[in-house]
Amino acid sequence: MVEMPKTYKDLPSTPITFFTTEDNKTGTWRTIRPVIDKEKCTRCYICWKFCPDLSIEVEKEGDYPSVDYDHCKGCGICANECPSDAITMEKEMGK
């Protein structure tokens, strides 16, 4: 049976990562991705407001929002909060 570490001192001395999420492409953790339907989008930016990961981007007021897929984790909050049902969560096809 594998012995579980009791403190961090029982683990290798190297950190898990040397980079912040700004550099790490944490979007690779995602299994489903938000896809925005511009036909339905009213540009209310509620998705932008609710995203806990700053992964909804709006270049300037009046533009359609887009998703930063390098960092979006696929939590689905944006799709849940969109009042126009303009965001669907689609399965990642695996890359």
Q: Which residues bind ligand SF4 (CB under 6 A)?
A: 34, 36, 41-47, 51, 53, 55-56, 65, 67, 72-78, 82, 84, 86-87
- Closer to ligand SF4 by CB, 11 or 54: give it: 54
- Closer to ligand SF4 by CB, 11 or 70: give it: 70
CB crowding 54-65: b at 16 or more within 10 Å, else e: ebbeeeeeeeeb
| Residue 19 Cβ vs ligand SF4, minimum distance, rounded to whole Å | 19
| Residue 22 Cβ vs ligand SF4, minimum distance, rounded to whole Å | 15
As a three-state string, the secondary structure of 14-64 is CCCCCCCCCCCCHHHHCCEEEEECCCCCCCCCHHHHHCCCCCEECCCCCCC
- Closer to ligand SF4 by CB, 11 or 40: give it: 40
